[in-house]
Structure 1
Amino acid sequence: MGGHHHHDFAGEKLVLAARGALLDAGEQWTEMRADVFEALAHCEKPASAYDIAESVGNRRGKRVAANSVYRILDLFVRTNLARRVESANAYLANSHPGCRHDCIFLICDTCGAATHIDDDRLTGALRAAAQDAGFAEVRPVVELRGVCRRCGEGEE
């Protein structure tokens, strides 16, 4: 299995890739969904629904309810446009929305940055263990917490 190659999108290309993936999933790309995705795509680190609601509200010039943002984020996670960092109750845009695979997050306890890595051998072993235990439709989400290189170098 091992790693595989995919294109990481950014900026306008990421928004277009996300729009295409959502339409392919039979969903509509509404103005609100576009605004939420755009706000999410501009976040350097995982963002909460409240952060995104505030950002979209500022852009629109009127308050946006976090509940409606939650619903959109859940849709984005289901359709592979975003990833949810469970331990932080926060979300990240998926930089390759057309590509489905398991995710491993490395999350810095100091600055909150999240790095996403792929290791199909590791997630494949987790998937196999779950299937051996009688689970189907398994979606491994692995989160490892520690200190990133940038923060670690500042501790000398």
Structure 2
Amino acid sequence: MSAHHHHHEPQGLDLARAAQETLEKSGEQWTVMRAQIFSALAGFDKPASAYDIAEAVSKSEGRRVAANSVYRILDLFVGANLARRVESSNAYIANAHPDCLHDCIFLVCDDCGQTVHLDDDRITKSVRSAAEHAGFSPVRPVIEVRGKCADCDSNEAA
């Protein structure tokens, strides 16, 4: 198992198609509302809350979309590996490679909110192993590192 994953990361319509295929393979339907929510989520350059997504879809559709509906669909997306939840921010990002199942590490900037997603199997395997050694069955490790991104760190130094 390599330490880091390298993926071709689809964007735009290719990402939406990959998400649709993944969801349909799991036995779920790709409805108009699910497509709109995924499109809105993928359009954010930072993790987005359900309220951010509901507002974006409401504006684009010209009708109010409730955050409760968005939460339900986001939960489905997380379960189907189409989205990842940044726990400490209660926000979501589109998974750029929904056909690959692995644990994620998020680097979250406390200043600008930018979140970088890393895949490092050595680290996540160690976390799973430590949990198992302690008699715990890990289902979904969540690893987040909070700090400052390179841009914010260099802006502060300037």
Q: TM-score, normalised by structure 2?
A: 0.95
Task: Specify the SS of the correspondent of 1:102.
Answer: coil
Show the 5 A alignment for 1:89-100: 89-100=90-101
Q: TM-score, normalised by structure 1?
A: 0.97
C-alpha distance in 2 between matches for 1:92 and 1:51: 12
User: What amino acid sits opposite 1:63 in the alignment?
Assistant: R
User: What amino acid sits opposite 1:86 in the alignment?
Assistant: E
Q: 2:119 aligns to what?
A: 118
Q: How large is the Cα RMSD of the aligned pairs?
A: 1.0
C-alpha distance in 1 between matches for 2:93 and 2:72: 15
Name the % identity.
62
Deviation, 1:138, is: 2.2
Is contact 1:130–1:138 with CA below 8 Å preserved after alignment?
A: no
Task: Specify the SS of the correspondent of 1:75.
Answer: helix
User: What amino acid sits opposite 1:149 in the alignment?
Assistant: A
Deviation, 1:130, is: 1.2
User: What amino acid sits opposite 1:98 in the alignment?
Assistant: D
Q: 1:43 aligns to what?
A: 44
Deviation, 1:135, is: 2.6
Is contact 1:19–1:29 with CA below 8 Å preserved after alignment?
A: yes
Task: Specify the SS of the correspondent of 2:99.
Answer: coil
Q: 1:154 aligns to what?
A: 155
C-alpha distance in 2 between matches for 1:137 and 1:19: 28
C-alpha distance in 2 between matches for 1:7 and 1:138: 26
Q: 1:78 aligns to what?
A: 79
Is contact 2:46–2:114 with CA below 8 Å preserved after alignment?
A: yes
Consecutive unaligned residues in structure 1, runs of 5 or more:
none
Task: Specify the SS of the correspondent of 2:5.
Answer: coil
Deviation, 1:137, is: 4.8
User: What amino acid sits opposite 1:121 in the alignment?
Assistant: R
Deviation, 1:8, is: 1.0
Q: 1:144 aligns to what?
A: 145
Task: Specify the SS of the correspondent of 2:113.
Answer: coil
Deviates more, 1:128-137 or 1:53-62: 128-137
Task: Specify the SS of the correspondent of 1:154.
Answer: helix
Is contact 2:84–2:93 with CA below 8 Å preserved after alignment?
A: yes
Q: Please give the per-residue CA displacement for 1:128-151, whole angstroms capped at 9, x wherever unaligned.
A: 111222333521110001110111
Q: 1:23 aligns to what?
A: 24
Consecutive unaligned residues in structure 2, runs of 5 or more:
none
